Amino acid sequence: MSLYNDILKGKEKIAVVGLGYVGMPLAVAFAKKVNVIGFDINLKKIDGYKKGIDPTGEVGNKAIKNTLIDFTNDEKKLKDTKFCIVAVPTPVNLDKTPNLEPIISATKIVGRNLKRGSIVVYESTVYPGVTESICIPILEKESGLKCSTEFKVGYSPERINPGDKIHRLENIKKIVSGIDSKSLEEIAHIYKIIIKAGVYKASSIKVAEAAKVAENSQRDINIAFMNELAMVFDKMGICTNEVIEAMQTKWNALSFRPGLVGGHCIGVDPYYFIYEAEKLGYHSQVITIGRKINDGMGAFIANKAIQQMVLSEKIVKKAKVAILGLTFKENCPDIRNSKVIDIIKEFDRYGISLTVVDPYAEPDEVRKVYNIRLSKFEDIKNMDCIIIAVAHKEFCSLTEEKINEMFNPQLVNENKILIDVKGIIDKKLIKKEKYCYWSL
């Protein structure tokens, strides 16, 4: 464990490649204990970090301002480190196949600057086999070094839950793996510098890769089951949330709820498994169906809203609709793979004018990624239909007065359509005001 000791003594540095929702918390945590280089190809992002700005909200501006991380977009600085963590995104293409371009690009950068005796650890979500069959050959080609003898490789799946202030990096057990037993021990000890919950040593890199895909696919399937129940219960005239409350009186009931399933993990990782399974000649059934159900929820919710408008005798195309929330989850600025976009796309098919607000999303990023201009909350006036798409705390605390201010004052309450995707509005308020109310 010479590298571990050299890092603790300040003789060697740790580099984190990719400073987003995964990489930044890692870099900040390590920088409290050892010397860290934070690398990202995005100069604007690097300049922001140097000014103490945290666009992710994961660690906060104060932590960024006070950290000792050496922020850089100069790849040559990676030559100053022997322990490199790659934490770049791994999205999917439009056809739902894995987009490995970010991890391939990052691997080339790391390889060009790799020193003999280094360890490279990947945290990006991939299907089993990517680290050894794709990343290692690139590292060898770019560096001219041989894996196992001249440098080592490991894999440690990220388990960051954006916006979660309870389950943080330091208190989530870390799965670690290495190309051999020596690298495994070294990697485990280095991560223990910051992980209070300890580490779990996987038997191989492929097992560690598979664990990440499996845990998110399992969650995806469970939510898909609840979404399917919600759609059937809707036809039966049964409130899904009331069913869940009754069900949870049993000790072994699972606490999954229906909803939109987006983000950089649960809405993406199952496709990595499906892709690799297809390559091996196996057509995934349960996981594929679960993805199909969850991918269809945005359109389902939009069509339920349109149905409510028709029942309220509104001219759908002329209706004014506001969508509250755009990020993929509550109390978080992350807009990656947001399924609220599917609701918006469905409304676009009908030519319906929309007002979209989100107190957490960054307006310039939303405009750049989705070509949507966010409005201010106070601009929501004279609406026919309000869709609360994300359970932000600001929306959970909406009062009777505030809700009514958003609607067209000429409407009677029975014609004020309130679509409460997550069922966050107080039932007593709904009953009292007699809105035209629907929840998933």
Active site members: 265
- 309 by Cβ neighbours in 10 Å (0-12 / 13-18 / 19+) ranks as buried
Angle between helices 297-311 and 205-236 (to 10 degrees): 20
Question: What is the DSSP pairing of strand 118-122 with strand 151-155?
Answer: parallel
> Cα(135)–Cα(124) distance, rounded to whole angstroms?
11
Task: Render the burial of 186-208: b for 16+ CB within 10 Å, e for the rest.
Answer: bbbbbbeebbeeebeebeebbeb
Euclidean distance between CA atoms 160 and 173, whole angstroms: 11
Check: CB of residue 156 under 8 Å from CB of residue 233.
Answer: no
Give the side-chain half-sphere CA count within 13 A for 292.
7
User: What H or E segment, with its residue span, contains residue 163?
Assistant: none
How many residues belong to the chain? 440
Task: With CA atoms as reference, report the closest residue to 302 among 210, 419, 172, 154.
Answer: 419
Compute the distance between CA of residue 275 and CA of residue 177 in angstroms, rounded to an integer: 23
Secondary structure class of 199 (helix, strand, coil)? strand
Give the largest CA-CA distance in the chain: 76
- Taking residue 391's Cβ as centre, other Cβ atoms within 10 Å add up to 19
Long-range contacts of 267-271 (CB under 8 A, 24+ apart): 267/220, 267/294, 267/328, 267/337, 267/339, 268/90, 268/91, 268/92, 268/125, 268/337, 269/125, 269/212, 269/213, 269/216, 269/217, 269/220, 270/213, 270/216, 270/217, 270/220, 271/92, 271/96, 271/97, 271/98
Question: What is the rounded (10 degree) CA torsion for 331, 85, 140, 185?
Answer: -130
Cα(438)–Cα(435) distance, integer angstroms: 9
